[in-house]
Amino acid sequence: MGKLIIVTAPSGAGKTTLVRHLLGTYNKLAFSVSATTRPKRETEMEGKDYYFIQVEKFKSLIAEDAFLEWEEVYENQFYGTLKSEAERLWSEGKHVIFDIDVKGALNLKMVHPDRTLTIFVKPPTPESLANRLRDRKSESEESLRKRIEKANYELSFEKKFDIVLVNDDLETALSEAEWIMEKYVFEETGKNLHLKSNIL
Q: Kindly indicate the confidence band of residue 178, based on its pLDDT and cuts at 50, 70 and 90.
A: very high
Given phi > 0 = left and psi -120 to 50 = alpha, else beta, which region is 93?
A: left
> Looking at per-residue confidence, does 141 or 57 come out higher?
57
Q: Which domain holds residue 149?
A: 4-199
User: Are 133 and 21 within 8 A, CB to CB?
Assistant: no
Query: What's the average model confidence in pLDDT over 4-30?
Result: 92
pLDDT of 189 reads 42
Lowest-confidence range among 10-14, 25-29, 54-58, 103-107? Answer: 10-14
pLDDT of 59 reads 97
Q: Kindly indicate the confidence band of residue 116, based on its pLDDT and cuts at 50, 70 and 90.
A: very high
pLDDT of 54 reads 97
Report how many domains make up the chain. 1
pLDDT of 125 reads 83
Q: Kindly indicate the confidence band of residue 190, based on its pLDDT and cuts at 50, 70 and 90.
A: very low
Q: What is the CATH number of the domain that holds 44?
A: 3.40.50.300
